[in-house]
Structure 1
């Protein structure tokens, strides 16, 4: 297939998914507002995915702990797959389906939010995490591909991208992550983080000294310059 045909096919698939994607506008606003309220009240966001979805999960948590646009307070968000020692230990001892569920039981508290990303909506470890989250009293959301799918059914709410192309699904999941951060920041009080640690001021400039200084025994002698 020619390169220009690949491009046109990909863009056509993306364009076809954009129109139905617009129906999620109200959901994204509500999720962003809810997340801002829960995180500023001391809650946290736990996020998980596999493969490319894991990378997108970590992208989202980086934006929340850091910032998307303007300076503001850091928000607690953890990408569960990034806990590599925990993931490998749990996978080794309990099986791969438990790598996220066990972390949800460890870190999640009632009122926290669990966001699970999957293009198929059928990953066993994410389904187990959703069940663990609901049992622990977390609010469970999913970003998935077309519905119906098991993960969307297992969570309280889902944003499902209506496209058979998994690449397009992931691309609109990234759009969703950016919009979610936009709405979170819009719902926060304006201004920088009031608890931010101020930057360390630079040392005042002074004359440049060359050579080596040696302090004699006990500091009683005078420095000798070489």
Structure 2
């Protein structure tokens, strides 16, 4: 069992090294997009498909509060996966449109949508991106595998942070590291500190 544990750590480390080789450019681009939107008075909306939603909450909380250094609050909202109407009217699209409806209600031109997915084929995230694009919002997508259907929705103005992994657990771990990286880069851009 201990050998299996060591293998899991090794696999995780290798996934992070692979991500570190291919993602610096897109992480820089995403952080600049976030910082510029916030400078322009816009906000960041975040959502995540199923197991990724906890990371959406975490990232929005880091921006509203702070990452590692105290700073002013930044406008970020994690969209709720529980925002269902208790109406007795049946709807087959409720779970698919759960984030899209909130984007149509809260999103404005110039805002950013940050989405987190495992394979890019999650219907709730695809619907969210489609809604954001109708609002002229820029999309930052963190996704694994081959990007799925989600990758095909993105334009040159959007940023795809594609994790070079296929295993869901490794993709989630990389998403967390990337969100922490984005938090630090946004803080460095908006609130530069003097040399220590």
**TM-score with structure 2 setting the length:** 0.87
Alignment of 1:136 onto 2:138: no
Question: Does structure 2 retain, via aligned residues, the 8 Å contact 1:40–1:75?
Answer: no
Q: Residue 104 of structure 2 corresponds to which residue in structure 1?
A: 105
Pick the structure with greater CA Rg: 1
Q: Residue 183 of structure 1 corresponds to which residue in structure 2?
A: 185
SS in 1 for 2:114: strand
Gap change, CA 1:178 and 1:148, over 3 Å in 2: closer
Query: Using the alignment, how far apart are the partners of 1:136 and 1:148 within structure 2?
Result: 22
Displacement of 1:90 in angstroms is 8.2
Displacement of 1:163 in angstroms is 1.4
Question: Does structure 1 retain, via aligned residues, the 8 Å contact 2:44–2:112?
Answer: yes
Query: Using the alignment, how far apart are the partners of 2:112 and 2:19 within structure 1?
Result: 23
SS in 2 for 1:88: coil
Which stretches of structure 1, 4 residues or more, deviate above 4 A after TM superposition? 90-94
Displacement of 1:17 in angstroms is 1.6
Q: Residue 220 of structure 1 corresponds to which residue in structure 2?
A: none
Query: Using the alignment, how far apart are the partners of 2:108 and 2:147 within structure 1?
Result: 28
User: Could you say which structure has the greater relative contact order, defined with CA pairs below 8 angstroms and 6 or more residues apart?
Assistant: 2
Question: Does structure 2 retain, via aligned residues, the 8 Å contact 1:142–1:158?
Answer: yes
Q: Residue 14 of structure 1 corresponds to which residue in structure 2?
A: 12
Question: Does structure 2 retain, via aligned residues, the 8 Å contact 1:90–1:99?
Answer: no
Alignment of 1:44 onto 2:23: no
Query: Using the alignment, how far apart are the partners of 1:73 and 1:131 within structure 2?
Result: 31
Query: Using the alignment, how far apart are the partners of 1:112 and 1:39 within structure 2?
Result: 8
Q: Residue 207 of structure 1 corresponds to which residue in structure 2?
A: none
Displacement of 1:190 in angstroms is 4.1
Question: Does structure 1 retain, via aligned residues, the 8 Å contact 2:84–2:94?
Answer: no
Question: Does structure 1 retain, via aligned residues, the 8 Å contact 2:26–2:160?
Answer: no
SS in 2 for 1:147: coil
Displacement of 1:150 in angstroms is 1.1
129-138 or 31-40: bigger deviation: 31-40
Query: Using the alignment, how far apart are the partners of 2:167 and 2:57 within structure 1?
Result: 22
